[in-house]
Amino acid sequence: MKIAIGNDHVAVDMKNEIKAYLEAKGIEVINVGTDSSDRFNYPVSGYKVAKMVAGGEVDLGVLICGTGVGISLSANKVKGIRACVCSDPYTAKLSRQHNNTNIIAFGARVIGVETAKMIVDEWLNASYEGGRHQVRVDMISEIENTQHLNAAE
């Protein structure tokens, strides 16, 4: 498995810990974030990770900024990306099982590194269930592709 990881200046330390944690599990990690505490605009790494995931260069992505929100919003602008901000392991697990998320995001100012590890583990260990959830994932893709939804409200 290959994962791209991106971050802003607020999340350098957490990114490094999560990167090492994933590598210890035998996962190849591509770092496209900053390694500096100098101000860095999170949309840059959010976009880079999303493009790598959407283009098939990597299997999945991990994004970290202050809250996880801004960087995930940037990633979600890329067609084919389903990035989810998670502050707890249960949400991470269900985001994968029900929404087939391909990028996880969290905030270095919101959670600690041990919680981040639990989130990553639950997300990676979960599998997309398809079935009843596929209808909704297809609806999300329809909105993405057409900017409207052809469904009964």
Catalytic site positions: 65, 98
CA-closest candidate to residue 64, choices 27, 104, 22: 104
Tell me the C-alpha distance between 23 and 109, whole Å. 23
Tell me if 85 sits within 8 A of 72, measured CB to CB: yes
| Residues 68-92 as b or e (16 or more Cβ within 10 Å = b) | bebbbebbbebeebbbbbbbebebb
- Helices 89-99 and 132-146: crossing angle in degrees, nearest 10, is 80
Tell me if 82 sits within 8 A of 121, measured CB to CB: no
